[in-house]
Amino acid sequence: MRTFYSPHHIVHDPAALHEPDSPHSVVYYSEIARRGLIMHDAVQAAGLGDILPPDDFGLEPILEVHRHDMVAFLQTAHERMVAETGRTVALPETFSVGGRPRHKPVSLWGQMGLYCFDAGSPIFAGTWEAAYWSAQTALNAAAWVLTGQERLAYALCRPPGHHAAADLYGGFCYLNNTAVAGQWLVEAGQRVAILDLDYHHGNGTQEIFYGRGDVFTCSLHADPFHEYPFYWGFADEYGTGAGENHNFNFPLPLGTQEPAYMTTLAEALRRIRAFVPDSLIVAFGADTLTDDPVGGFKLTPASYGRMGAKIAALNLPTIIIQEGGYLLSQLGECVVSFLQGVEAG
């Protein structure tokens, strides 16, 4: 199995904002550079195959998914913040709520609140570079599988992406790596299924493909009545227009353990099989682990191996794209367990 990994991810590190005495720091700034290093070292130590840096597919695949104005904002937000205020971190203080406004503000502060939907996604000097190469990492994994080099590839993406919509970023996510890879595969003639296994609903991925019939999206996640992202991910969101019955959400109660999770996963896999996709993208998050600081399920490291084996039984060309997972002491073990399960299955 080939792993794609970009060392550029370390230039975006919210650990710099960690406040030891703040109860919010562990939640808002859990997505730190050490995560990527831990996962890389665990995959390497497990001997799962080559780990290579991604080639550059350019900006065009990103712009096929994300609006040009948001991408331009992400590219320039830090530079503008420094020039206008002297601050070195761009965080919104006002948010656009109650529907998208008719007019786009010129002010940097107004644009931050227009494109960002939470306070946990700071922009540093290296954020665009890290997000850009995270998307390239996903594209390389998709291309590797599409060209038939192997039927399985792992994109060790950081920062993650599944909360980023066409014109919104948030939830530690700036560009939607899963959607960028999925769209690229569609343009190559593939029917694509996306299975999101992060603890939190992939609202950005859902939004991007919600009206389309060429991509099938399925997500297992914490019930948004009680958990982030709160406003998306309910069981009655099935898609619209050409995308009707191409989106299925499986919200699960807090405290969900492996037996109930596996039963739900089997139903999601049944629906994916019925779609008859050419390829599968798995947006994998290890924040479903017991005691994850931003999670609330009760899976174990061994659970991930069993999950991986069930997914492998679909016998589809599969791209695994890394999303969440924040219990650093067990993160590497969980990722390796999942990858080994898919590979052995």
Q: What is the pLDDT along the chain (345 residues), one digit of tens a residue?
A: 999 999 999 999 998 776 555 544 445 578 999 999 999 999 999 999 999 999 999 999 999 999 999 999 999 999 999 999 999 899 898 898 877 788 899 999 999 999 999 988 999 999 999 999 999 999 999 999 999 889 999 999 999 999 999 999 999 999 999 999 999 999 999 999 999 999 999 999 999 999 999 999 999 999 999 999 999 999 999 999 999 999 999 999 999 999 999 999 999 999 999 999 999 999 999 999 999 999 999 999 999 999 999 999 999 999 999 999 999 999 999 999 999 999 997
Instruction: Look at phi and psi of residue 244 and say left if phi exceeds 0, alpha if psi is from -120 to 50, else beta.
Output: beta
Distance (Å, whole) CA 262 – CA 306? 9
Is 221 considered catalytic here?
A: no
Q: Is the dihedral of CA 244, 247, 248, 249 positive or negative?
A: negative
Give the residue among 249, 258, 252, 261 at the shortest CA–CA distance from 227: 252
Instruction: Look at phi and psi of residue 185 and say left if phi exceeds 0, alpha if psi is from -120 to 50, else beta.
Output: alpha
Exactly one of 163, 201, 221, 246 is catalytic; name it: 163
Q: Write down the residue that tokens 């353990």 correspond to.
A: 257
Strands 318-322 and 152-156: parallel
Which residues make Cβ contacts (< 8 Å) with residue 280, sequence separation at least 6?
192, 193, 194, 195, 272, 311, 314, 316, 317, 318, 319
Neighbours of 20 (CB within 10 A): 6
Neighbours of 89 (CB within 10 A): 15
Give the residue among 315, 248, 269, 261 at the shortest CA–CA distance from 288: 261
Can you give the pTM of this predicted structure? Answer: 0.96
The DSSP-derived string for 274-320 is: HH--SEEEEEE--TTBTT-TT---BB-HHHHHHHHHHHHTT---EEE
Q: Write down the residue that tokens 């406003």 correspond to.
A: 231
Contact yes or no for 292/265 (Cβ under 8 A): no
Distance (Å, whole) CA 238 – CA 245? 5
Domains of the chain: 2-54+126-344 (3.40.800.20)
Strands 2-5 and 51-52: parallel
